[in-house]
A and B are shown apart, each in its own frame.
Chain A
Amino acid sequence: MTNQATKENEREEKTKGNPNPLGILKAAASLKLTVVCLLLLTVLVVWGTVYQADHGLYQAQQKFFHSWFFLVFGFIPFPGTVLVMFVLFFNLVNSLFFRLRFRWSNIGNIITHMGIIVLLVGGFFTFYFSEESSLMLQEGETSNMSTSRNLWEVALWERKGGEKEVYAVDASGMDTGGVTRLDDLGVTISVREFYKNCTAFKGSASDETRVANASGIGVLKEIPPAMEAAENVAGGVFDITGAGPGSPQTLLLYGQDSIPTPMTVDNRTFLFSLRKQKIPLPLSMTLLDFKVAYYPNSRIPKSYESRVTIKSEESAEREVVISMNKPLRFADLTFFQSSYYLAPNGTEYTILAVVKNFGRLLPYFSSIIIFLGLMVHFIMMLLRRRKEQLTQNG
């Protein structure tokens, strides 16, 4: 191993000495860069884990693991995990091209690092393209929509009997001054205030104009984000204007409004609600039965399972059991038994996590590749060592 180390060094020295158009790429292949990246990741992992004790998992993820960089003490920038991962990725790809020697003796090493590239690509897909939502069903209830865990939307629909057509405006990026025009309805929504997490009070602020809210809420007060993003309750105050003349009406929506707020715009009455985003599913699911089993004479849960029927346009109706460690895979979605809720009146609800992940299989492939590579490398290392010893002794 020592020999190899010195060889690698020599090679690096050479590349440094060569003024070459590929110089920058070769520099990006530097082993020292790898070490720096690994060191940064180590620091980030420790820091981000300790941070969780006080701030919860979600905030730690946002600050350390899902970020390009963050500020220490409010002014010193520190690279976030996303940035380090990208640098490490380019470092790896470059070292495969410029630094690693393609020889049989090095085959394990090369396989391993190719596997790590696949792993990083998988992480990239998961990070940017996976969607996670949840589906809560009461026994006997049917649904074809799942609900986002932490993204909100302003939903509005006309008060009519029978089926309703719901319009939804994404509230995840809402900020004061934002304007959304719904041309189909002739309704314009302008954001006066929007809070990611807030509490609500009855009555009205003294100098404000009266706001409409069916639950009787008059004032929203912003509070710091909750430990877990799903626990945040959004709220906002909006100006609603119609296509025709007339002054805007002010609407207050709170994430925990008990009923939607009606408002008449251009003689049409709409119902407004601020709710977690609804995501249409390619199937409809009915919960037949939810069961928690305990070990005898104890409160240690043995299993949770939901018996459901699923129906879609392409496939016939069928019965499925979803339980812990036995998810349902359907199209590109996976349904997991995530939790349950027992209402005070005895009604059982199941809570399923619904996940769409394009890169789902990449970690599987990559881990097989990496493990094979590591094993080959390890065994060859041992064999080489043995040979060296034999020649020394002989």
Chain B
Amino acid sequence: MLTVFTALLVFGTTPRIHAEVTSLDELGRMVVLENGRKKPLDTFAQNILKEFSGQGRFQKKPAIQWLARVLFTPEQSYHDNVFLITNPDVLDSIGVERVGKARNRYSFLQLNSGIDRLRQMAFQVSKIDDKDRSFVDNEIFSLYNKLYIYRQLTDTFSFAFPHPDFTITDAQIRKSLDLPETQTQFSFLDLLEKKEKIDALIDSFKDNKEIASIPDRMNAWASYHKDLPLAVIPGIRRENESDEKWTGPWDLLIDAFVHRSTPPGELFLLRDAVSGYRENNGERFDAALTAFNRAVMEKAGDRIRAKAISLEISYNRLDPFYKGKFFYGFSVIFLLLSFMALKKWFYRLSFLLLAAGILLHLLGVIARMIIMQRPPVTNLYETFVFTGLITALLGMVLEWFKKRNIGILTGSLAGLVMLMIAGKYAMEGDTMGMLVAVLDSNFWLASHVITIILGYSGIVLSGFIGHVYILQEIFKPRKTDLLQNTFQAVYAIQAFGIIFTFLGTVLGGIWADQSWGRFWGWDPKENGALLILLWSALLFHARLAGWIKKNGFAFGTVIGVIAVSLAWFGVNLLGVGLHSYGFTSGVARSLFLFITFELLFMIVTGLMLTTGKKVRGAESP
């Protein structure tokens, strides 16, 4: 690992080239196999950029443009400020000067001076147990890993870059090797292609140091560039699919170099693409990549679902969950505006925006289902996306029947909040991961996970409306009709929530019985669901027993939202232990803030209600 790093650093000395190829569509369509999934390079680019910078775009341009620079003209990407550092202590500890805001993005060049110290510190951190790492420890470790991946990416196509190591100044030698006469520096692949001839020439040009040193240099390059990323070339088809193996370009080259065989044709196409990009020749670039993609498709056959790849690219372009946030957000804004002026028109606009947001949201969910051939929810990220969809949908249905603003308000807000949380989780990498063996059951994923999310959505939405009910009790205590209406919504949606939470929990138990042999095991995740069920059942029974009134029920639904948040996030935090920091500490902090906020809300509104009643009581004889 360390040797690769130093080798990579030697490389950063080639002259700067200014290249810009206009269309990167073919590049985006290139299929890469990563973590068991075949995805378009477009997705890979977005994910890696999100991991580095916390954003899916760089300088408002698609991630693939940045990745193309990294891959084909690394020197140009050295100045791109993509490495997000949230804690400036990290910079101090590696001796890099702070720039601008505390939370800021830095370029590779800026960080480069601290790379040796960073490596030493990351090595020390790696020896600390995960649980005992501090926030700074974690960030140092992840920054080192990001830079490491970055350097690997800059070297993925270096086999096609002309390099001073492979200089042939003697025109006669170039001629006898059939190399272009105008060029003096060549790439690894250029010379590998002529390896036999070079070996034959060495004897006749014994005094020429350049040519004599070439085999050694090639050897050095071959040993430095093992295990580089981007498995873009499918291996030979085997009967058993799990034996499928894809290879990165360098590994194939090294293989050819070691076995003195001809490198596969795909590598020459990639070299053409690299040259096309570096020479700013869009046609050459496109033609080479089109041929490359076609060759890969032929080799892989039905192991690549071409339609899924195209759909995924369209999905990335549409970016439905990002845009959906704006629809939901503006829906809320126009609803609020409708209270002030142009009531009817703003209300309609607000409703339409909610509907459009839901449509976009739904399209995104369906696209993901087709791409992955899975039910809508397979990981934590998707739980938020799907809950957002269901709450927004429930809100719209409620609005359709009641037309009291409350459906739009809570539906849009819930959709917005859920998509925002999902966006945070998207920063962790690919949101379409493969499922580990125990979860690999479309039937149970579809039945258990979806029902439980319907349930959680109900409890969350009921709690949202519960907030509204409490506020209405304070500010509009005399509008009994309005209050009655809102309360009915709180009550009915809570009932919807408990039914589906129950069904989902039981289905989860049955799944557990099918795969582990026990229906219930008091595991934190199970307890989380049970907690929600018990609390909701408690509310209904306490209301029936007359221990709580409408207000009490509404406050109870707010606590229900806290219970859902605990079951959702808190349970994951427990597993890591109480002394964990890093990303989960961000979650812990948000969770803590959320709960504090809700408690404050309940205390303040509770006080207002009790004092308000006294006032009202005094008014009416």
- Which A residues form the contact surface with B (CB < 8 A)? 1, 4-6, 8-9, 12, 31-32, 34-35, 38-39, 41-42, 45-46, 48-50, 52-54, 57, 60-61, 64-65, 122-123, 126, 130, 132, 293-298, 300-304, 324-325, 327, 334, 336, 338, 353, 355, 357, 360, 363-364, 367, 370-371, 374-375, 377-378, 381-382, 385
Contact = CB atoms under 8 A, between A and B. Distances in A.
B244 A296 contact: yes
B35 A300 contact: yes
Interface of B: 33-37, 231, 240-246, 433-434, 436-438, 440-441, 444, 488, 491-492, 495-496, 498-499, 502-503, 506-507, 509-510, 513-524, 527-528, 530-531, 534-535, 537-538, 541-547, 571, 574-575, 577-578
A31 B548 CA distance: 13
B510 A360 contact: no
Given A126-B519, A370-B502, A374-B502, 18 more contacts: A1-B543, A31-B544, A34-B545, A45-B534, A49-B528, A57-B522, A126-B520, A132-B517, A298-B34, A300-B35, A303-B437, A353-B516, A353-B517, A355-B517, A364-B510, A367-B509, A371-B499, A378-B495
B518 A132 contact: yes
Contact of B515 (A297, A300, A336, A377): A336
A41 B534 contact: yes
A113 to B, nearest CB: 11
Contacts of B574: 49-50, 52-53
Nearest to A336: B517
Contact of A52 (B242, B516, B524, B544): B524
A8 B544 contact: yes
A94 to B, nearest CB: 15
A325 B440 contact: yes
Nearest to B542: A35
A325 B511 CA distance: 8
Contact of A382 (B492, B534, B541): B492
Counting from the closest, the 5 A-B pairs by CB-CB distance are A295-B36, A367-B506, A355-B517, A293-B242, A298-B36
A296 B515 contact: no
A296 B517 contact: no
Nearest to A303: B437
Which of B514, B519, B541 neighbours the largest number of chain A CB atoms within 10 Å of its CB? B519
B502 A371 contact: yes
A324 B510 CA distance: 14
B251 to A, nearest CB: 11
B516 A338 contact: yes
B440 A381 contact: no
Given A41-B534, A45-B534, A294 B242 contact: yes
B546 A5 contact: yes
Nearest to A323: B437
Contacts of B577: 53
Contacts of B437: 301-304, 324
Contacts of A324: 437-438, 440, 515
B434 A298 contact: yes
Given A303-B437, A334-B517, A297 B231 contact: yes
A294 B521 CA distance: 28
Contacts of A61: 521-522
Contact of B545 (A31, A49, A338, A371): A31
24 contacts: A31-B544, A34-B541, A45-B527, A46-B527, A48-B527, A49-B527, A52-B524, A60-B522, A61-B522, A65-B522, A126-B518, A130-B518, A294-B36, A296-B243, A297-B33, A297-B35, A301-B436, A302-B242, A334-B517, A355-B518, A363-B509, A371-B502, A371-B506, A385-B488
A49 B433 CA distance: 28
Given A4-B544, A35-B538, A301-B436, A45 B516 contact: no
Nearest to A292: B437
Contacts of A57: 521-523
A324 B441 CA distance: 9
A377 B496 CA distance: 11
Contacts of A375: 499
A265 to B, nearest CB: 41
A5 B544 contact: yes
Nearest to B545: A31
A303 B242 CA distance: 10
Which of B433, B437, B495, B523 neighbours the largest number of chain A CB atoms within 10 Å of its CB? B437
A32 B545 CA distance: 6
A9 B515 contact: no
Given A31-B545, A302-B434, A295 B517 contact: no
A363 B510 contact: yes
A371 B503 contact: yes
Contacts of A41: 534
B59 to A, nearest CB: 31
B39 to A, nearest CB: 12
B537 to A, nearest CB: 6
Given A45-B534, A298-B35, A304-B437, A35 B498 contact: no
A46 B519 CA distance: 20
B176 to A, nearest CB: 41
B495 A381 contact: yes
Which of A12, A295, A377 neighbours the largest number of chain B CB atoms within 10 Å of its CB? A295
Contacts of B527: 45-46, 48-49
Contacts of A293: 240, 242
A39 B438 contact: no
B519 to A, nearest CB: 5
A272 B230 CA distance: 59
A109 B35 CA distance: 49
Which of B246, B518, B530 neighbours the largest number of chain A CB atoms within 10 Å of its CB? B518
Contact of A363 (B33, B34, B513, B571): B513
